[in-house]
Amino acid sequence: MNQASIKVGVITDQTGPLSFLGIANANIARLVINDINSKGGLLGRWVDLYLEDSATTDSVAQARATKLVQQDKVDVIFGGIYSSTRQAIKGPAVVQGKKLYIYPEQYEGQESDPLIFCTGPVPAQQVDPFIPWLMKETGAKRFYLPSADYIWPHVMNKRVREVVTAHGGEIVGEEYFPLDHADYGRTVDKIMTTGAEVVFNTIVPPGLMPFLEQLHQAGFKQRGGHLVCTYFEENLLGLGTTGVRPFAAFAVALGHASVHLNGGYTWNGDSVLAGNVATGQKADMPDQASWAAGIDFGVTKRLTLALDVVGTYIIDSPRLVSQTFTAANGQSFPQINFVTESYGIVNGAAGLKVNLFGRLLLDANVLFKLNDAGLRDKVTPLIGIEYAF
């Protein structure tokens, strides 16, 4: 391949509240581009990946887009999850940079530019067929709209209101919150007291999980309420599995020190995650063996130091590995492939426990990886409070 390479820029949230999605996006980008290159490239040209972390922050995404255009001089940009992130990328990528920009998420519509391709559905494609079906099947008429405060929920809710009222229903509440909002007590109270039958949710991470937890604790589903959403559901429903985990623990005191050892084994059942997500076919989830060994040392009556080694051995699990591909001309390139194999994850932990007063304890630990298996941070600080009743 003697022609210039095709430069592909990908901006995704590899850190911050959306990292559980962004890391997956980054891995898929690496996998796809490595696969393309292993098969000879695209139109006889090598594809170079320029991967940037937008950190779930729109200003960071804007800066990364500027770098990709001005410094890396990419040919095309993919990325963005929030619609506000798309708008942040649009300026430097499309308006100033005149680059092709592909946004692969559902969104609110209202985007029209010859250089922007939005591949996800718009509100009319989701709401228009769904809401009438839901009202007919459940008899529900009263809707509550808890929402994140940015452009997608505002436009989505406008369409929901139009369709609900056109079919004889009513919106009994509509609220907007910052993305990192966590206390939904008053909103959940309103949902319960207004007789809302359907919660049409457009709250997004990081505020999503606190809202779902508080709504569940209030008994909304138990009273027959319907929680609906147009995103992430296909990634969350039916993915769990049952498991059995027997374990054994041993500890012995030696003066001021205490040595402990424990181990366990988890037998897992079937899950879509181990089968075929597209067809819903389930397969057996990998079993896991786990162990931990460590020592606690009482320095004083109020201070204890701890050192532990913690391991998990995952059996016959699909995973991504780095490999080398050799082309027909003898040239070698790095690539990523899926393999099924067993592997062990080993971490170390060092910390202390301080009795501040009475029964109140302060825990501080640093978790650090001891091998390169598995996807995790090199160092993770942890701090917590304990109180014995």
Per-residue pLDDT of the chain (389 residues; tens, 9 = 90+): 567 899 999 999 988 888 878 888 898 899 899 989 988 899 889 999 999 999 999 999 999 999 999 999 999 999 999 899 999 999 999 999 999 999 998 889 888 899 999 998 999 898 999 999 999 999 999 999 999 998 999 999 999 999 999 999 999 999 999 988 989 999 999 999 999 999 999 998 888 888 988 998 899 988 999 999 887 544 454 445 677 889 898 889 888 899 999 999 989 888 766 766 445 577 888 899 999 999 999 999 889 999 999 999 989 887 766 667 666 666 666 665 667 889 899 999 999 989 888 888 899 999 898 988 766 678 888 888 888 77
Burial tier of 383 (Cβ tally within 10 Å: 0-12, 13-18, 19+): exposed
Is 3.40.50.720 the CATH number for 6-118? no
Indicate if the alpha-carbon torsion angle 184, 185, 188, 190 is positive or negative. Answer: negative
Q: What is the DSSP letter of 72?
A: S
Rounded to 5 degrees, what angle do the CA atoms 82, 80, 34 make? 145
* Domain edges within the chain: 6-118, 123-236, 243-387
Distance CA 103, CA 156 (A): 18
Alpha helices in 71-120 (DSSP H): 83-90
**Exposure on the CB side of residue 105, measured as CA atoms within 13 A:** 23
Is CATH 3.30.450.80 what the domain over 123-236 is classified as, yes or no? no
Cβ pair 145, 171 in contact under 8 A: yes
State how far the Cα of 66 lies from the Cα of 61, in Å rounded to an integer: 9
Contact between 352 and 306 under an 8 Å Cβ cutoff? The reply is yes
DSSP for 275-318, please give it.
Answer: EETTTTEEEEPPPEEEEEEEEEEESSSSEEEEEEEEEEEEEEEE
The first and second tokens of residue 87, run together, are 């708008």
Up-side HSE of residue 19: CA atoms within 13 Å toward CB?
9
| The model's pTM | 0.58
Q: Tokens 């896991």 map to which residue?
A: 288
Same fold, 6-118 and 123-236: yes
